[in-house]
Copies of this chain bind each other. A is one copy, B any other.
Amino acid sequence: MNFPAQEQVNEMNLINIESVKLSCKNCSLSELCLPRSLSDDDLARFEEIVDTRPPIPKGGALYHAGEASQALYAIKSGAFKSVVTTEDGEEQIVGFHMPGELVGFDGVESVHNCTVVSLDRSTVCELPLRDLEALSRKVEGLQREVYTVMRREISQEQAMLLLLARRTAESRLASFLLSLSHRLGSRGFSRNEFNLVMSRHDIANYLGLAAETVSRLITRFQESGIVEVNRRRVTILDLAMLKERVGQPGGTKV
């Protein structure tokens, strides 16, 4: 493993071999990461295949489109965006990834078609596919676990297709805020108050809108007393009303 010089050097020198070894058992993500249902025995085997990676600075890439896909990554801290790029330089953010989530499932014929960019200083665990495959032939539940995560990913993207194809700008932003609130909440953070790790521009891109539209919507939501937004700090004041804004403006038809 290749550690760029910088600050980690200090850490590396101070930390002894033992403490560098990962412990999935004690990891705060263990309930969210793959080895949820593994026995102690299997967990030990799982830990063996997990690699560490140097922290990824803001703006740095976990991997690039076009690179060979060789591992999955569990996000320990920070956050990422997945970006699809067309030949003519057009970019589309197809997902944001929070701590506790797995990334690396995109790709055709073992070549990534997304670039995954860190939105913050982020740390990840690397799970080499080769080892993961080998291990999941031995460990009963692991293979199913991976399928489950991939299936969820597919379903999430399908929900996003619906969002982009059918909903108004207002509904999209409301959904986005609720989704963030939910995902952070289920990971032990506050559901009502959180930081947006991504820029307005990123949000707009993700939601298929112009940045100006997002800005205007945020203002509108504030004026309605639904949320309070200060820079990137979001406070949800009226969850019920926010949920109402997800439904189309005319109210639920049928």
Contact = CB atoms under 8 A, between A and B. Distances in A.
Looking at A157, A161, A253, which has the most chain B CB atoms within 10 Å of its CB? A161
Contacts of A82: 158
Interface stretch (A23-31, A87-95, A212-220): A87-95
Interface in A76-98: 82, 84, 86, 88-90, 92, 94
B108 A247 contact: no
A1 interface: no
Contacts of A206: 165
A157 B159 contact: no
A42 interface: no
A84 B208 contact: no
Contacts of A160: 161
A118 interface: no
Contacts of A105: 150-151, 154
Task: Using C-beta atoms within 8 Å of the partner chain, give the interface range for chain A.
Answer: 35 or more
Contact of A151 (B88, B108, B205, B254): B108
A8 interface: no
Interface string A150-184: 11111101111110111000000000000000000
B154 A106 contact: yes
Contact of A164 (B138, B153, B165): B165
Contacts of A113: 155, 158-159
Given A143-B143, A252-B88, A254-B88, A94 B161 contact: yes
Given A133-B144, A143-B143, A162 B106 contact: no
Contact of A158 (B94, B109, B133): B94
Contact of A166 (B92, B148, B166, B247): B92
22 contacts: A84-B159, A86-B162, A88-B252, A90-B162, A92-B166, A105-B150, A106-B151, A106-B154, A106-B158, A107-B155, A108-B152, A108-B155, A109-B152, A110-B151, A114-B155, A136-B143, A137-B143, A146-B147, A147-B150, A157-B157, A157-B161, A164-B165
